[in-house]
């Protein structure tokens, strides 16, 4: 009796070229990616136990730095031009709220100046940003 043996085909999937291409793509994207470091002002917000979550209303943000400088939407504004700058920013579409983000070491008189300027500029409301302890 003559039996013929069936030959089994051993199919092996070679993953080496696929892995090489994946690593080349990874290196390519790592080398071409632009890592942009955003400029920021180092401020420490005061804490308040009654602080609410931020609302997503359109707002004009004023930052009071520890050195007493005013920054309106990341642009430094002199003291005497603060009210006019807020009024101009509030005239842009859908902006009616003002948020004060001040360092806990900033002078209280400067914060009062922002509140007064926002009222005179016609802001619908003024929020003072804090963090919860």
CATH code linked to domain 59-128: 3.30.420.270
How far is Cα 124 from Cα 114, in angstroms, rounded to an integer?
14
CA neighbor of 132 nearest in space, from 46, 13, 43, 63: 46
- pTM of the entire predicted model: 0.54
Name which residue leads in pLDDT, 53 or 97.
97
Say yes or no to pLDDT of 29 above 80.
Answer: yes
* Per-residue pLDDT band at 41 (split at 50, 70, 90): low
Helix pair 82-90, 108-121: axis angle to 10 deg: 40
How far is Cα 132 from Cα 51, in angstroms, rounded to an integer?
6
Stretch 86-104: mean pLDDT: 80
The string of pLDDT tens digits covering residues 47-88 is 777 666 655 557 788 888 888 888 887 788 888 888 888 888
């Amino acid at each position: 009796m003559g039996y013929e043996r069936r030959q089994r085909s051993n199919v092996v999937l070679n993953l080496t070229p696929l892995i090489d291409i994946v690593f080349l793509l990874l290196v390519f994207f790592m080398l071409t990616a632009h890592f942009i470091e955003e400029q920021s002002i180092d401020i420490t917000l005061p804490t308040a136990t009654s602080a609410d979550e931020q609302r997503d209303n359109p707002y004009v943000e004023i930052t009071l730095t520890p050195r007493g400088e005013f920054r309106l939407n990341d642009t430094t504004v002199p003291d005497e031009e603060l009210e006019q700058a807020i009024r101009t920013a509030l005239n842009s579409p859908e902006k009616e709220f003002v948020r004060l983000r001040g360092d806990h070491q900033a002078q209280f008189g400067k914060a009062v100046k922002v509140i007064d300027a926002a009222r005179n500029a016609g802001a619908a409301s003024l929020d003072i940003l804090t963090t919860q302890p």
